[in-house]
Amino acid sequence: MSKHYAVFGHPVAHSLSPRIHAAFGRQVGIPVDYVAIDAEPSTFEEALSAFAERGGAGANITSPLKEVAFTLCSDATERARRAGAANTLVRNGDTWHGDNTDGAGLVRDLTGRHALDLRARRTLLIGAGGAARGVAPELLDAGIGDLFIVNRTSHRTDALVDLLGQPGRVHPRYIDDLAALGEFDLIVNATSAGRAGQLLHLPPSLVGRRTAAVDLNYGEAAIPFLAWARANGCHDMIDGLGMLVEQAAISFARWHGVEPDTDPVYGELRAEHARLVTAD
């Protein structure tokens, strides 16, 4: 049976993952069968099972399915367990093995491509869902300073803080507390609010002299947060395109045993994005 790969999410039609994995395959000479499959949380398990029966050998998982995906794995990497979420699945016999490449992809992009020194940066993480869970452990490992987490629902914030297990370093806060938190060196938007053109009300007082604003979204979904960052004088403004390419490369290596060169693929997608912005 031939091997198939896919990205699952809802919505997922906008995903660049099929293009990225196809480009990686051409680069290393491996034909890649990779498609996007739309599945809601209530139908995801059934869709994933059907995919496996058709020869599904690996899958990427995007919003809002990463935490559900983790629960469907028979075993998982340490980084997936620390996150309580999986964005990469590897078929292992009759079961799924879970991994989470989001955080490693983000850190690669920020420290490598954008030359950010993350060490000791006082950090605000906005969101506590699957995306936030994926990146928080790796940011802590990369040496950030104190991490403050805010989310619309406080119980999600508390659950993530408890999962990270560093109470002296990781702090839950309410949305209403934002104005009193002072300046941050790194602000990471891990919510999907930008897809609806929405954004939490973020006070300018969060921004300091060297604040880097990072949105895990890319394209139109990243516009509201990065527009706020630009208007309030953030030193760096970075969307999630580089992270997307880097995490995809780690997934690709898990499945095919070879690590692709991310720079040409990132460069092509970035140039295309620039043309679209100019056309608008």
Per residue in 158-181, pLDDT (tens digit) is 999 999 999 999 999 999 899 999
Q: Mapping DSSP to helix (H, G, I), strand (E, B) and coil, where does residue 240 land?
A: coil
Percent of the chain whose predicted confidence (pLDDT) is above 90: 91
Indicate whether 32 and 74 sit together in one domain.
yes
Alpha helices in 43-190 (DSSP H): 44-53, 66-71, 78-83, 102-108, 130-141, 154-164
Q: The whole model's pTM is what?
A: 0.94
Indicate whether 116 and 230 sit together in one domain.
yes
Indicate whether 92 and 123 sit together in one domain.
no
Cβ(265)–Cβ(275) below 8 Å: no
Cβ(187)–Cβ(206) below 8 Å: yes
Indicate whether 182 and 81 sit together in one domain.
no
Q: What is the pLDDT of residue 280?
A: 47
Q: How many domains does the chain fold into? A: 2
pLDDT by residue (tens digit) across 218-275?
Answer: 998 999 999 999 999 999 999 999 999 999 999 999 999 999 999 999 999 999 987 7
Cα dihedral 141, 143, 147, 149 sign: negative
Indicate whether 85 and 150 sit together in one domain.
no
Q: How many CB atoms lie under 10 A from the CB of residue 274?
A: 10
Indicate whether 43 and 126 sit together in one domain.
no
We report the CATH number of the domain holding residue 208 as: 3.40.50.720
Indicate whether 108 and 232 sit together in one domain.
yes
Indicate whether 28 and 151 sit together in one domain.
no
We report the CATH number of the domain holding residue 85 as: 3.40.50.10860
**Which amino acid type is present at position 223?**
I
Instruction: Name the residues annotated as catalytic.
Output: 66
Indicate whether 117 and 61 sit together in one domain.
no
Strands (E), the chain: 4-9, 34-38, 56-61, 75-76, 88-92, 95-99, 123-126, 147-150, 170-173, 184-189, 207-215, 236-238
| Structural domain boundaries, residue 233 | 103-241
**Which amino acid type is present at position 164?**
L
